[in-house]
Structure formats: C-alpha cells, structure tokens
Structure 1
Amino acid sequence: MQHTHTYKRHRPEQTLLYQLVERHYPEFLKQVGHQGKSLPHHVEKEFEEFLRCGRLEHGFLRVVCDDCKHEKLVAFSCKKRGFCPSCGGRRMAESAKLLIDDVLQGYPVRQWVLSLPIPLRLLLALYPKHLSKVMQIIHRAIATNIIHRAGYLKKQAKTGAVTYIQRFGSSLNLNIHFHMLFLEGVIIQKRERTSFKRVKAPSHRDIECIVHTISHRIATYLEKAGLIQRDMDNTFLDLPMDDEDSLLPLQAASVSYRIAVGKDAGKKVFSLQTLPAKDFDNYGQLAKIAGFSLHAGVFAYADQPDKLERLCRYIARPAVSEKRLSLTTTGNVRYELKTPYTDGTTHVFFSPIDFVSKLAALVPPPRLNLTRFYGVFAPNANVRAEVTSSRRGKNSPRLAEHLKDSDRPYHARSMTWAQRLKRVFNIDITVCEACAKTNVKIIACITEVAVIEKILKHLDKQDPPIIANTCRAPPLIESKQLIPVNDYEIQRDFDFGAQKHYH
C-alpha cells in the first residue's frame, strides 16, 4: 500500500508570494492611478481573488469523520489562471491526467516548442483574438511535414496535437510561446477502420524548413490583418498610441525585460550571472530563423506513460514557483531561473512594486482558452471517438438504456477536489488522520461572515498574524564586481536580445 501524507491546510498568508502581493499591491494601484489609468477589471479581480484564496475568513467546508468525529476546515480556492501557485498546481495535475488517460494514451508523442520574436509576443498579448489563426498556421505547417514524412498526402492521412499556450518565461517575463504535443505518426482511415503509422524523428533540415514556413506565413497573415507594416528595409508593429488602461506599458516592459514602475522605469531588469556563457548555435532538433525558434528534441514512447505525464505537467505548470522566490537583505525580490540562460544568467531581481507589475502582465485575458486540440483530437474531428480512449467525439455512439455498463462509451469527468489533492500532493483527504478510517464526509459549506467568525472563534482556528518570511537570499554584490574564486558577475544592463534562446 502506497504511503500517503496527512492533510495539512495550506496557509498562503505565510508564503512570501502572498505577503508581497498583500503588502505592495495597494501601492502599485496608487502608482497606476497617478498616471490617470486603471488596471483592467479581470486583472484587479485576479489579485483580489488571490488574496482570498485559501483563507478561512472568506469561507470554508466543514469535513468530519463519522467514526471519531474529528473535524477539519478546508478553505476555498480562487481557481484563477494567472499566478496562483496552488490553483495552478491543481490545474496542472488535472490537465496531465486528462491528456494521459483520455487523449494521448497508447501513442508515441513528440514535443514541439515554438518561441516567437519579442515584438510578436507583445503583439499577440495585445491582440489575443489573432492567436487562433497564428496557431492554425503553426499546426498546419508541422502536421503537413509529419504527413509527408510518413509518405502520404493530407487527404490520405491525418495527425493530431494538443497545444498549451504558455504566457510566461523563466524570469517572470511575458513570453507567449507554444508547447505542442504531436503524435509521432499519422492516423489512416480505411473502410471505417483507423490505423496508426509511426514516422522517424525529424531531421535538422526538416525543422529548418518548418520554422521558415511558419515565420513567412505568420508575417504574411499579420501584414494582411494590418498589425504589422513592412517596407524595403524595416518591419513596424501597429500598436495603439493611446491605451485606455495601464496594461500595455506593463506588458511592454515585461516582454522586453525592463522595469515597469518606479524611479528606474525603462531600465533593464537587474540580473546575476553565475555561470560562464555558452554558444548556442543551430544544431540537432533546434532551428532559429528571424527570432523564431523551433525545438523538437523531447520524445516519449507509447509505453512511457510516466514520462509523458511528467512532460504534460511541465508544459501545464504554474507561472510562479514559490521555491525559487526569495528576498534579499535590502528587501528586493530575487527570482531564480529554472534553466540558466546561454550567457550564464541564473537570477533576476525586482523591486517589490515592479514584481507586482510583472504578475499583472502575466494575467491572461478572460475567455482565452490556453489549451487547444488539433487534427484528430479536435472536438469536431470525425475520427476522434475512435482514436481516443474517452471515445468522445463527433461520431461517438450515443448511450442507450439497453446497453450494459461495460458496453457504454467512457466519458471523462473532471477530477474531484479529493482526487486532485491525492494526485498532486499524495494526500488522501478521505482518510481521517485521527483514526485512519475512510468514513470522512463534508457536512457543511460555510459562506456567511457572521457564521464564519463564530465557528473560527469557537474552534480556535483563527489564522495567526502574518509572520516575517525567512526566505531570504544571499546578500547583494556590488554591480560589476567580480569574484575570481567563483567567477561570479552581476550585470545591471544585460542585453536580452531576441536572437537568444529563452523559454
């Protein structure tokens, strides 16, 4: 029997991320207001709901064991998509489970990662309605290459993909890029039966041809849409000069690695180099053209569900990692990069106010679907019900009362709260930690303020006051100072050029 951990309520008010937002978000709003602008409603709501997430004062569930009467209180979550690590972790686990169990099960899968030039990241953040067309261009180019490498025409075979739109980079910068899980092969339909044919891995030349096609078609589309203008020598973005709210300058600063607010606004973000620089040329399954970067070096076989689930979790991960967040002795925010940059940069630093501005720039607009299904996995695909284990699709068989349970098509459902806890944290909430029995159930949902205060006071469960955070970074080193022993260097005006490979 696998060991599970005992449930212990997450206290967000004791995390550094929560404290930074709670203390500095009001000041950030004041600075935005001094400019005569205001944040969009969905961004303000993201911050407000984050400050309520996991707090018992804003409502909770009462969970009681029927055997020993042991009781626990479970706070509500914000369920937002911006920067909440807790809700992002639960969503990550549920998305990975859905893909493994219902969509990609039994197929070899390759990850294709496309990064865009810095100007196009800002353009697509400002005009999210054009994302769908851009993603169709990308999917069509890669799918066509896979079908042709399999020896078929587009009318004879199809492939499928699941795409995640990631809006964040390793340094909390706004970086819209795409993680695509493509079938490493094609689906062939003959006489109402489907079969799968695998293809060989793409060569460097294949990837170069694909990224060249993608860059040309995206530029052509954006020019026809009136979003860019080109002459003989230059290309210009058609951005609004007078924005009604303050989100555009925040996004522009975030996407270009610059400080958005405060006395140093417009300067490059302070960075720390602790590793020697490396040359990163085009080779293997990586190709770069005109700021576009396409990588296809990660592959999972059909009999590697664990590896595929780790890959799905990686591409669906939250934007902010609390483990890599800390404070310096001077009160600045220090954030460690998940993967060092090619020049050796491993950390970036923000003032608390500028850190809040970086969070605001990462909030996705409402009603923007960040997960897309293409090809045979698309909701309206004719063969979707045949190639996926969930058997849901355009031509899926309808349920009939006379069918046995074993004959009915499987329909996936969202994971319950208890299932998410068990999958993410290996915690089984249905088991009582006092008597180790499974007779635990929810007896009430408490949302009224007067009742909340009365219960918390009676049970003496009121949250303790915010304590000083102990997550502190090593002392800052003077700018441009060299330490010969470790070959460390801090570079204030670091050039994050578009020609470098960032994710």
Structure 2
Amino acid sequence: MAAPSPCSTTPRRDSYQRRRPDETLLYQLIDEHWPTFLERAEQSAGLPDFIVEEFEAYLRCGMLEHGLAQFACRQCGESLAVAFSCKKRGFCPSCTGRRMADVAAHLVDEVFPEVPVRQWVCSLPWRLRYAMGYDRKLCADVLDAFIVSLRRSLRRRAKAQLGLRSVDDPLFGAVTFIQRGDSSLRLNVHFHCLVIDGVYVRDERGALRFHELGAPTHEELTDVARWTHERLGLVLERHGRSLDELAGDAATDLLGQEQPVLASCYGASTADRQLLGDAPGQ
C-alpha cells in the first residue's frame, strides 16, 4: 500500500475550507423567495437591471456548478476546486467581507498616519434616507454638509486650544464610508467617518506637526449637529426640496415615478413596514 502524500497529511497553514453558501440561512431565504418576488415585480414595472444582476450573481457565487478554478499539486497530484465569486458590492457576505478586510488593511498600511483616529457617525431622518437611497448627488451633498460642519468644529477647537491666529491654519483628514443598511437590513443611508483625532499645523520651519485634540464636549457635538442641520436646509433647497416636504406624504418622488416597485421597497424598508406577506403596510 502506497504511503500517503505529505501534501495531503500536512494541515493547511491558511486553514482554507471551501465555503458552502447554500448551507447558510441567507442563501436559502433568497433562493426560495427571489423567483416569486421577481415574478410579482415583473407584473408591475419590474426591477432595475442592477438589482436583478446583484441577486442572481449572489445565487451563483461560491457554487461549483456555476464555474470553478482547479488547482493541483505538482508533487502529489492532489487537487483543489475553488468556485468563482460574484465580486459584487451589495450584500454577499463573502465578497463584501473580503473587500472590507482589504480596504481596512490598505487604510492602516498606506493611508492613515500613526495618530489617534476617531469614528464619527451621521444618522439622518428616515425620509431623507429614502431620497438619498436613489439620488447620488443628494447623498454626496449631504455628506459634504456634514464634513464641512465637522471641519469647522475641529478648526475652532484647534484655534482655541493651540492659540492659533486663524481657523484656516489647522488641517485635518478623514475617510468616509457610506453605509446603506442597518443591522435589521432596512434601508438606512448613513455615514461612518474615520477622522484623525486632531489637526496638523505648520511650525515655524513649515513642517507639518500633529496636535491631538481629544474627545469633543457635549456642546461641541451639539454644534456639529446644528451646523449640519443648517447646511442640510441649503442642500435641499438647491435640489428643489425641503425638510418639511420630505417629512410629508406629498414629497416629490422621482423614484416612485420611474421605478414604482423599487420605490415601494425603499419606502417600506425605511419606515420599518412589511411590504408583502400576511400584514402588508404594518
């Protein structure tokens, strides 16, 4: 009897195991209900192509029958099959998790200096979340309103703590991640901002030096919220909207006119209502 190959008896250093998405609850739920949901949507105006592609790509992701790469050891001939991945950015736990880990490593290794970093989270009214869910320009302008308010706070704090002559002297840095959902899978567009917890100021020789500012006070947090709210009014005015309009049922809904099925899903999700099933609208 031939001796076992050392390749097959030695444990893998990376502990790799082929994932089996069809054994997860998420995959089973989508696999069971997606065809029915899509059929109902097609009876109305249908769904945008990018949503159909996202779901169907997820159902193929990690499944050997939809494509694979075969690897073999030249020494012993032992082989390994690795299923193709969807590489989507929507909700695939494997692909989004891998991308998240890669981005985190890049930020630590290549982007952030070795200084303290604080996370700031900006949460928004639910009707504004709905509008930002499909209006990219509005979402970008709302984020800008928050970042400008945050920068204003950091510069004012730096001027007071460091005795600077101008609020324009200190420089700060931030990286923002726009998160579209919450822990309950509802549409909840909000911002996670990783901000260096201080400012850079040029010394008498022109070199940048970091000065830590520490945690903001309750009053300083209130200022950021108030300034953001004030700027949001200007942003919405430029977009032909208003906070009062978004809070009402008569809000101008371009998505509802162009994609009624998607608009219904967005509206039910942001309002935490059931769209289908035994108690729709509740």
User: For this structure pair, what is the TM-score category when the shorter chain's length is used for normalisation?
Assistant: 0.7 to 0.9
Checking the alignment, whether the CA contact within 8 Å between 2:47 and 2:259 is kept in structure 1 is no
Residue 217 of structure 1 pairs with residue 225 of structure 2: no
What letter corresponds to residue 174 of structure 2 in structure 1? Answer: A
CA distance in 2, matches of 1:125, 1:179: 16
Deviations 1:247-278 (A, max 9, x none): 111000001000112342211xxxxxxxxxxx
Unpaired runs of 5+ residues, structure 1, are: 268-503
Deviations 1:363-382 (A, max 9, x none): xxxxxxxxxxxxxxxxxxxx
Identical-pair percentage: 38
CA distance in 1, matches of 2:188, 2:226: 20
CA distance in 2, matches of 1:44, 1:199: 47
Which of 10, 21, 32 is the aligned partner of 2:30? 21
Which of 94, 100, 121 is the aligned partner of 1:113? 121
Matches for 1:468-483 after TM superposition, within 5 Å = none
* Structure with greater proportional helix content: 2
Matches for 1:282-293 after TM superposition, within 5 Å = none
Checking the alignment, whether the CA contact within 8 Å between 1:259 and 1:266 is kept in structure 2 is yes
Which of 48, 56, 75 is the aligned partner of 1:48? 56
1:281 matched to which residue of 2? none
Checking the alignment, whether the CA contact within 8 Å between 1:230 and 1:236 is kept in structure 2 is no
Residue 155 of structure 1 pairs with residue 140 of structure 2: no
1:264 matched to which residue of 2? 279
Q: 1:32 to 1:215 in 2, by over 3 A?
A: same
CA distance in 1, matches of 2:104, 2:89: 16
CA distance in 1, matches of 2:99, 2:137: 24
Checking the alignment, whether the CA contact within 8 Å between 2:179 and 2:188 is kept in structure 1 is yes
1:122 matched to which residue of 2? 130
Give the drift of 1:131: 1.4
Checking the alignment, whether the CA contact within 8 Å between 1:164 and 1:180 is kept in structure 2 is yes
Give the drift of 1:11: 1.0
Which of 78, 90, 100 is the aligned partner of 1:92? 100
What letter corresponds to residue 52 of structure 1 in structure 2? Answer: R
CA distance in 2, matches of 1:57, 1:219: 52
Residue 136 of structure 1 pairs with residue 141 of structure 2: no
2:42 matched to which residue of 1? 33
Checking the alignment, whether the CA contact within 8 Å between 1:226 and 1:238 is kept in structure 2 is no
Which of 180, 194, 203 is the aligned partner of 2:193? 180
Q: 1:204 to 1:236 in 2, by over 3 A?
A: farther
CA distance in 2, matches of 1:51, 1:116: 32
Checking the alignment, whether the CA contact within 8 Å between 2:118 and 2:196 is kept in structure 1 is yes
Higher relative contact order (CA 8 A, sep 6+): 1
Checking the alignment, whether the CA contact within 8 Å between 1:147 and 1:185 is kept in structure 2 is no
Deviations 1:104-160 (A, max 9, x none): 240101111110011110011131221111111111111121121111434312100
CA distance in 2, matches of 1:213, 1:236: 27
What letter corresponds to residue 186 of structure 1 in structure 2? Answer: V
Unpaired runs of 5+ residues, structure 2, are: 1-11
Structure 1: which 4+ aligned runs deviate by more than 4 Å? 233-236
Give the drift of 1:8: 1.3
2:8 matched to which residue of 1? none
SS in 2 for 1:147: helix
The alignment's C-alpha RMSD in Å is: 2.1
Give the drift of 1:4: 4.2
Give the drift of 1:194: 1.7
What letter corresponds to residue 149 of structure 1 in structure 2? Answer: R
CA distance in 2, matches of 1:89, 1:257: 26
TM-score by length of 1: 0.50
CA distance in 2, matches of 1:90, 1:260: 32
Matches for 1:305-320 after TM superposition, within 5 Å = none
Q: 1:235 to 1:47 in 2, by over 3 A?
A: closer
Which of 66, 70, 91 is the aligned partner of 1:83? 91
* Structure with greater proportional strand content: 1
Checking the alignment, whether the CA contact within 8 Å between 1:229 and 1:236 is kept in structure 2 is no
Which of 201, 204, 210 is the aligned partner of 1:196? 210
1:65 matched to which residue of 2? 73
Checking the alignment, whether the CA contact within 8 Å between 2:199 and 2:212 is kept in structure 1 is yes
What letter corresponds to residue 205 of structure 1 in structure 2? Answer: E
Checking the alignment, whether the CA contact within 8 Å between 1:187 and 1:196 is kept in structure 2 is yes
Checking the alignment, whether the CA contact within 8 Å between 1:126 and 1:248 is kept in structure 2 is no
Give the drift of 1:245: 4.3
